[in-house]
């Protein structure tokens, strides 16, 4: 049977960011998939050697807009370890609040895009309508909708007063009810299930061996979530990783859907810890000296595990900043699950890894 | 402060990585770091149950390391990235972009961004 190579991307209706896949197909069956990158590479790791380590906070926030808060959190945690700074408890809890609001709006963004990938535009609109309320929370508490810029070395730069805490609680009640109202559609609707169940299966063994991360890993039955490490204030909060076992597109959407509700719960838990101390406390410990040595830190971003390696020599400039983002980890798994699929399923499966190419290329 | 990493000789790298895989460690990523004008090192990060383990391999700039993509296929992407950024080549890469992962033109020791101290073009006398 004759083989054909079909280019998928870099511009495609389902791709919010550019990645190119060379799909080798026989009839409409995918035989092989070869990814090509390089459309949005910005050299941000190199820039780390040319900006001082405090300026780098603003730069790592721009590795990815959607998980900007988690990038700066991971970066600041590394420097706090190098500088032996202990972050105040209130700041750790505030970091939980904003990082979970980020996960919430990121997953809602993805759920909408995913619905759009199989042509369910009304569902896309509903998820994005809900997301706007979370973006309002970001803007109202930090001044920005996406790149919230709250992390500083040693803590955070913003606080929440009692009125803001009440506003967040009230808004999350509405958001939670709205999300729950869409549960049966995204997880049980027959037309949705026909496009997602049994499609793009990544087995538990393959997910582990291919180094998959985040919801991609947990949807294949592996209960690993870096928040279990207890960074920021997660060590004081009660949660279990959200896991599915089917490993298909449906399982990945189920994990992300359930994680939106989990994030709401975690924000509430963190806010209740803030309530313990009604008078705003210290927000950032003073970081003295210059960083020296090397460190590896990890956080759980919406798309999965993010790793920062940093090497400092006691000067203002870091010698090396290496950023391993979750989509970078999930691309090998994507190339493994595409062969054998019908060509029509490729957009849905590509979307199911929640690809962030700006993150990946940095 | 430095991370606890086991130093490995390039010749024993693949066997050590295979041993770690057999013990249940999964590959997280690789990190390449410049050491001085002629040397660099590659750190291999592994995870098992939220615990990290690191291997450290020193190599000459512009040199070659054995690829571990035969053990962990996922390593192909980061090994190609290191090839682009540090002009370090990997022998036995499962999927070799020939220095063109991010660029349409192959990266060389002269053009690889992190090789900034490596290449000094001598000026013509006079």
Query: Does the distance separating the beta carbons of B3 and A329 come in below 8 Å?
Result: no
Q: What is the pLDDT of residue B117?
A: 47
Query: Does the distance separating the beta carbons of A82 and B32 come in below 8 Å?
Result: no
**Residue at A19 is within a domain:** no
Q: Share the mean pLDDT of chain A.
A: 90
Query: Does the distance separating the beta carbons of B26 and A209 come in below 8 Å?
Result: yes
Question: How far off is chain A from B65, nearest CA to CA, in Å?
Answer: 19
Domain count, chain A: 1
Mutate to test the interface with B, among A33, A310, A332, A355 (most CBs of B within 10 A): A332
**Residue at A30 is within a domain:** no
**Residue at B19 is within a domain:** yes
**Residue at A76 is within a domain:** yes
**Residue at B126 is within a domain:** no
**Residue at A17 is within a domain:** no
**Angle, to 10 degrees, between the axis of helix A121-142 and the axis of helix A162-181?**
170
* pTM for the predicted model, two decimal places: 0.91
Q: What is the pLDDT of residue A129?
A: 96
Q: What is the pLDDT of residue A156?
A: 93
Q: What is the pLDDT of residue B119?
A: 45
Phi, psi for residue A306 in degrees, rounded to 5: -120, 135
Q: Would you say A106 and A302 are in contact if contact means Cβ atoms under 8 Å apart? A: yes
Q: What is the pLDDT of residue A287?
A: 83
Cβ contacts (< 8 Å) between B43 and chain A: which residues?
309
Domain region containing A191: 37-337+347-361
**Residue at A128 is within a domain:** yes
Cβ contacts (< 8 Å) between B31 and chain A: which residues?
309, 320, 322, 324
**Residue at B42 is within a domain:** yes
Query: Does the distance separating the beta carbons of B1 and A81 come in below 8 Å?
Result: yes
Among the residue ranges A7-16, A182-191, A310-319, the one predicted with the least confidence is A7-16
Structure tokens at A61: 């926030």
Query: Does the distance separating the beta carbons of A336 and B76 come in below 8 Å?
Result: no
Q: What's the CA gap between B71 and B20, in Å, rounded?
A: 10
Nearest to A332 among B28, B73, B104 (CB): B73
- Of residues B115 and A40, more confidence is placed in A40
Report yes or no: B37 at the A interface, CB cutoff 8 Å.
no
Closest CA in chain B for residue A39: B102
Report yes or no: B22 at the A interface, CB cutoff 8 Å.
no
The confidence band for A294, taking pLDDT boundaries of 50, 70 and 90, is very high
CATH number at residue A289: 1.10.645.10
Domain count, chain B: 1
CATH number at residue B51: 3.30.460.80
Question: How far off is chain B from A134, nearest CA to CA, in Å?
Answer: 30
Domain region containing B14: 5-115
**Residue at B34 is within a domain:** yes
Cis peptide before B15 (omega within 30 of 0): no
**Residue at B46 is within a domain:** yes
Query: Does the distance separating the beta carbons of B102 and A293 come in below 8 Å?
Result: no
Indicate the pairing of strand A20-26 with strand A3-8: antiparallel
Indicate the pairing of strand A151-152 with strand A29-36: unpaired
SS3 of A125, please? helix
SS3 content of chain B, % helix, strand, coil (to 5): 20, 30, 50
């Amino acid at each position: 049977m004759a083989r054909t190579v079909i280019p998928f991307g870099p511009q495609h209706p389902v791709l919010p960011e550019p990645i190119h896949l060379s799909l080798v197909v026989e009839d409409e069956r995918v035989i092989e998939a070869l990814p090509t990158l390089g459309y949005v590479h910005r050299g941000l790791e190199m820039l780390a050697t040319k900006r001082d380590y405090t300026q780098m906070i603003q730069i790592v926030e721009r590795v990815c807009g959607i998980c900007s808060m988690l990038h700066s959190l991971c970066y600041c945690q590394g420097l706090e370890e190098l500088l032996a700074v202990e972050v105040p408890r209130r700041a750790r809890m505030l970091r939980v609040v904003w990082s979970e609001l980020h996960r919430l709006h990121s997953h809602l963004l993805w759920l909408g895009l995913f619905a759009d990938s199989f042509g369910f535009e009304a569902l896309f609109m509903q998820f994005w309508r809900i997301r706007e309320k979370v973006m309002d929370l970001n803007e109202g508490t930090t001044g920005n909708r996406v790149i919230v810029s709250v992390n500083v070395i040693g803590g955070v730069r913003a606080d929440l007063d009692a009125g803001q805490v009440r506003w967040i609680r009230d808004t999350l009640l509405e958001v939670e009810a709205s999300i729950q109202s869409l549960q049966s559609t995204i997880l049980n609707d027959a037309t949705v299930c026909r496009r997602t169940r049994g499609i793009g299966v990544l087995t538990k063994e393959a997910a582990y061996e291919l180094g998959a991360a985040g919801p991609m890993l947990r949807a294949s039955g592996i209960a690993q979530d870096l928040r279990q490490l207890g960074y920021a204030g997660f060590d004081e909060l009660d949660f279990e990783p959200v896991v599915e076992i089917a490993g298909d597109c449906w399982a990945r959407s189920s994990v992300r859907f359930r994680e939106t509700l989990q994030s709401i719960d975690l924000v509430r838990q963190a806010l209740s810890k803030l309530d313990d101390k009604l008078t705003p406390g210290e927000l950032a410990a003073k970081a003295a000296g210059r960083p020296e040595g090397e460190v590896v830190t990890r956080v759980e971003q919406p798309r999965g595990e993010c790793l920062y390696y940093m090497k400092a020599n006691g000067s203002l400039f870091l010698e090396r900043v290496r950023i391993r983002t979750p989509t970078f980890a999930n691309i090998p798994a994507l190339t493994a699950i595409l062969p054998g699929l019908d060509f029509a399923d490729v957009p849905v499966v590509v979307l199911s890894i929640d690809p962030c190419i700006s993150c990946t290329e940095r | 402060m430095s991370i606890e990493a086991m130093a490995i000789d390039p010749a024993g790298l693949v066997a050590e990585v295979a041993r770690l895989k057999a013990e249940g460690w999964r590959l997280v990523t690789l990190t390449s770091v410049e050491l001085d004008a002629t040397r660099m090192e590659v750190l291999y990060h592994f995870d098992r149950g939220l615990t990290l383990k690191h291997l450290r391999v020193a190599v000459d700039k512009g040199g070659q390391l054995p690829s571990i993509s035969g053990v962990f296929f996922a390593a192909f992407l980061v090994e190609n990235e290191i090839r682009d950024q540090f002009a370090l080549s990997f022998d036995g890469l499962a999927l070799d972009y020939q220095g063109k992962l991010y660029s349409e033109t192959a990266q060389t020791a002269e053009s690889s961004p992190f090789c900034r101290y490596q290449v000094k073009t001598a000026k013509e006398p006079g």
